[in-house]
Chain A
Amino acid sequence: MRWLRQLFSRRRRYDELSQSIREHLDEKIADLIDRGMTREQAKHAALRAFGNVTLIEERSREVWQWPTLESALADMRFAFRQLLRSPAFTVTAVTTLALGIAVNATMFSLVSAFLLPHLPGRDPQNVLVPTSINPDATFQASANPVSAPNYFLWASDTHLFSEVTAADYRTGSLSGPGQQPEAITYAAVTANYFSVFGAVPELGRAFLAGEDQAGHDHVVILSRGLWERRYGSDPSIVGKTVRFNRQDYVVAGIMPASFRHLGFTPQLWAPIAFTAEDRAPNARKNRFLYVFARLAPGVTLKQAQAQLDVLAEQAQHDFPAIESRWGATIRTLPEFLIYNFGIRQAVTILMAIVGFVLLIACANVAGLLLARAVGRQKELAIRMSLGATGVRMVRQLVTEGLVIALAGGGIGLGLTYLGIRFLRAALTFNEAISAMPVRLDSRVLLFAVAVSLASALLSSVAPAIKASRTTINTDLKNETRSASGRGHNRLRVVLVGGEIAIALFLLIGSGLLIRGVYLIDHQKLGFEHDHLMTAGIGLDQARYPDAAKQEKFVRDLMTQLRQIPGVKGTAVTSDLPASGFNSVTFHIKGQQATRANEQHTTTDVVVTPEFFELIGVPVLSGRGLTDHDDATSPRVVLVNQQFVHKYFPDCDPIGKQIQLDISSLPAAWSEIVGVVGDMKSYSEDTRFEPQVFEAYEQRPVGSFSLMLRTSLDPTSVTPSLRHTTAQLDSELPLLRVMSMDTMIDLNRRGNPLFAQLLTTFAVLALLLSALGIYGLIAYSVGRRTQEIGIRLALGAKASDISRMILRDGFKVSLIGSAIGFVVALPLPKVFASVLEGDLSFSAPFIYPLVLAVMLIVVFCSTAAPASHATRVNPTVALRNE
């Protein structure tokens, strides 16, 4: 408690101190008078010997203070007063920093939510995700799901993992008497799934050992969200029966809302019951499991990877037909989830851009502070002559920067709050993304504070040090045209040049990215996607065990759907165009069996005959599919132009035989009977892929999509579509009921938002650097008023003056632009290597275009001060002296 006592006794201490010093001087003066000096002489001599009384008193008092804190507070009070005295400067500086801080904090909320996710369970960073490496995939090839035999192999290897679980993420149906059937995402998991994650249900229990065996597997665990929405948070649901996939399941428990894994967050969990077929060698073809594991004690991640490599090599050797070239890799759970989410690159790019925007903002504020420091040279010189040290001056000026940055940070946080609300509203293109808590959490808050402090330092240290080098003599004598004043200006010129370089670099970068995104979003898909309603259906084994039953359902449904008013036509397809077709390998009759690593691959779709006419894809040669192409007639396929181009470049494909490798079907040759126009397999792909179309009647599939051509708004037929389906099967849910255009929008995921954010930030950078160059030129015009006055008085024309000012502006801008231009040259290559997917970034025209925009903006922001300069009245300017 001594400090408390000291705090209260301080006033007395200070008095005593002044008193002691006074006594000291009095004694000395008395001594000196005794030695024969006059009182006046003695007083001067005593003070000289003593030193600077005020300073010494201050130093002595500081002993009793918490010097840093208290004098910092004093500095802050002073800074506040100083800033209030020049509101225009303060508002500009604070707004600039507020914008810079706000965009950074807003983007960081994405980083916080998606790149640093809070994962549930015990030590989530120790959960590992081994995956297969697909040698043929271009997208996320190293995060391929795993086949059941490989899972069994890994799980039984005690040198690898201590605990292993596998999950199959599927779609299922929830129904019940009087309820609308609902399609849900669920995970079929092994019984130890939750214990591997170290998570427990908040109500009820997890799966018991043995519940993943056939006959015991009719239990489910609900997610908190599903429980709230569908069951009204009724706790008594635990232990009751629900209708799931047309069968009765007992609800064992409810998982807490926090049990989320980004893109792997199902609404319900059910046990997976492996069958003997899953253990057969042929099951290696079906790679559908995601494996989660914890390392065996004493095994490192590296050793585990080495062991996986050994096992993969062994499998390649033992099953060359299936496993050839396939590998395996391992990631930690957070790494895997972030990789799979595929948002890292976009967020990183955005974060880098806002970082640059902040740099520009700081450069602007630094420029403003420099200009102010020049104006305050006299004040500083006086303070230094009164004994203030350089360090002390730096601290004062940095404190001013800090006050500006904190004010900016405060307002910035307000803007961040709005920015995050905007982001939340815009992040609706993906269920997993919109479910993520993007919010102003403690991490974002901390980040905003850190950014504010960093920008305070960035923007104030250089000007402060520069200002503290004030030389007392010259600065007290000279007004504003001192040598150091020119030094300040040189630093400002460098700052503004740098700003322009960064802004140009950002504009070019964003321009390239936006163009890449635009090209994809506006490319021709090759089919008519307007007025098209779609819905997915998954026929389950329980009610539709064989092809005949499935086919009958499809035929009945088609007939009924065509009766709906406003429906002009219908078709069924295994996969919707533009949303991604499956890839298969195939053989061409008459060609030698190809070696494993140069297998022919094509995408493959099963469609009903009306498909092509319905979506406006032309049959270019041969014939289309007909109702006669059914199970009893010879197998036929259509191919697209790209397929012909790739595999039959020199001959007519009609009449040729091909055989598709489809694991669930016996091998059979099919004849190519027609060639159709190209359409995009996936809307975000810039290339056309080879496509093969099979006839639905010849190869019925249980999971397919309906397409309805409508005369009005496609969603207007949704109620009739649901009603008609329910009449045929009341427990069958419709999946992804939406128009084709909505579907394509969903495929674009964040692209429009990404482009929108890029544009916003690039424009912000441009505006800030325009403000920077405006400030620089306006300030230099202000300082050169007298010079301009003299020039005018000596007969210079107004046009000469404005040309002189413009030239100054352009000199800085051109040097800055040149640097930004050169640095931006390798950007297309950088983007192409960093961003996954099929974006094209080479657009040389962006470069001169951006440069032109930049120069126009520079011209506009220099024109105002330049024209102001020509209106200088020589007599007034010279009288100013």
Chain B
Amino acid sequence: MHGYALAQRLQSISEDYLQIEEGSLYPALQRMLKAGWLETEMGLSARNRPVRIFRVTKAGRKHLEQELESVKKMFAGFNRVLQLAGRQEA
């Protein structure tokens, strides 16, 4: 996926909840490139223009899974605390 498409996708997924500057994607992408989670190659945009595409590597996928796992755990924790808090208030 190329940068612009990524930005659009983010916006539509989050249903405009996340109002971010599109440009702020780029430092993040560079960090992931540096860590080896992404790689780049040439591809085509929706308008059939040649653009640089970012692709998730094997290492990147593995890291993503780990991160998702830990985020899930964190949210599970949040949920329990919130439920407990709700019950006590009631």
Contacts and interface: CB of A to CB of B under 8 A. Distances in A.
Contacts of A17: 26, 30
A125 interface: no
Nearest to B32: A63
A6 interface: yes
A455 B80 CA distance: 54
B3 A24 contact: yes
A16 B40 contact: yes
Interface in B6-41: 7, 21-24, 26-27, 29-31, 33-34, 40
B75 interface: no
Interface stretch (B46-54, B55-63, B64-72, B81-89): B46-54
A425 B24 CA distance: 65
A61 B29 CA distance: 11
A52 interface: yes
Contacts of B4: 23-24, 27-28
B2 A24 contact: yes
Interface in A1-30: 6, 13, 16-17, 19-21, 23-24, 26-28, 30
A23 B21 contact: no
Contact of A51 (B5, B23, B30, B40): B23
Contacts of B22: 24, 28, 49-51
A145 B4 CA distance: 88
A27 B47 contact: yes
Given A50-B21, A50-B23, A63-B30, A27 B49 contact: yes
A53 interface: yes
A59 interface: yes
Contacts of A6: 34
A20 B7 CA distance: 13
Contact of B47 (A21, A30, A52, A64): A30
A60 interface: yes
Contacts of B33: 13, 63
Nearest to B45: A27
A68 B39 CA distance: 26
A56 interface: yes
Contact of A56 (B27, B40, B45, B47): B27
Nearest to A46: B22
A162 B31 CA distance: 63
Nearest to A58: B27
A786 B2 CA distance: 60
Given A20-B52, A30-B47, A63-B31, A53 B2 contact: no
Contacts, number: 72
Contacts of A63: 27, 30-31, 33-34
Given A16-B40, A49-B21, A56 B2 contact: no
A504 to B, nearest CB: 54
Contacts of B51: 20, 23, 27
Contacts of B2: 20, 23-24, 27
B27 A21 contact: no
Nearest to B52: A20
Q: From B5, B22, B31, name the one whose CB has the most chain A CB atoms within 10 angstroms.
A: B22
B26 A26 contact: no
A52 B26 contact: no
A51 B19 CA distance: 12
A122 B7 CA distance: 69
B30 A56 contact: no
B24 to A, nearest CB: 6
A13 B26 CA distance: 12
Interface string A35-61: 000000000000001111100110111
A16 B52 contact: yes
A206 B51 CA distance: 84
A20 B50 CA distance: 11
A8 to B, nearest CB: 14
A53 B24 CA distance: 10
Contacts of B52: 16, 19-20, 23
B87 to A, nearest CB: 44
Q: Considering residues B21, B23, B27, B49, which has the most beta carbons from chain A within 10 angstroms of its beta carbon?
A: B23
Given A26-B49, A27-B49, A20 B3 contact: yes
Contacts of A24: 2-4, 7, 22
Contacts of B21: 49-51, 56
Contacts of B40: 16
A50 B24 CA distance: 8
Given A6-B34, A16-B40, A21 B26 contact: yes
B34 A21 contact: no
A56 B24 contact: yes
Contacts of A49: 21-22
Contact of B23 (A26, A53, A61, A64): A53
A34 to B, nearest CB: 10
Contacts of B23: 21, 50-53, 56
A114 B51 CA distance: 71
A60 B45 CA distance: 22
A63 B37 CA distance: 14
A663 to B, nearest CB: 85
A13 B47 CA distance: 25
A392 to B, nearest CB: 16
B49 A23 contact: yes
A64 B30 CA distance: 8
B33 to A, nearest CB: 8
Nearest to A23: B51
A50 B21 CA distance: 5
B49 A56 contact: no
A457 B83 CA distance: 51
Contacts of A28: 4, 22
Contacts of A16: 40, 52
B50 to A, nearest CB: 8
Contacts of A20: 2-3, 26, 51-52
Contacts of B31: 63
Contacts of B30: 13, 17, 60-61, 63-64
A51 B3 CA distance: 14
B27 A64 contact: no
A16 B53 CA distance: 11
Interface string A566-602: 0000000000000000000000000000000000000
Contacts of B29: 60
Contacts of B24: 51, 56
A51 B22 CA distance: 7
Interface string A835-875: 00000000000000000000000000000000000000000
Contacts of A62: 27
A52 B26 CA distance: 12
Contacts of A60: 26-27, 29-30
CB-CB nearest 8 A-B residue pairs: A51-B21, A51-B23, A56-B23, A63-B30, A27-B4, A59-B27, A24-B3, A50-B23
Given A27-B2, A56-B27, 9 more contacts: A20-B52, A21-B23, A24-B3, A24-B22, A27-B4, A56-B21, A56-B23, A60-B29, A60-B30
22 contacts: A16-B40, A17-B30, A20-B26, A20-B52, A23-B45, A23-B52, A24-B4, A24-B7, A26-B49, A27-B45, A49-B21, A49-B22, A51-B21, A51-B23, A56-B21, A56-B23, A56-B24, A56-B26, A60-B27, A63-B27, A63-B33, A63-B34
Interface of B: 2-5, 7, 21-24, 26-27, 29-31, 33-34, 40, 45-47, 49, 51-52
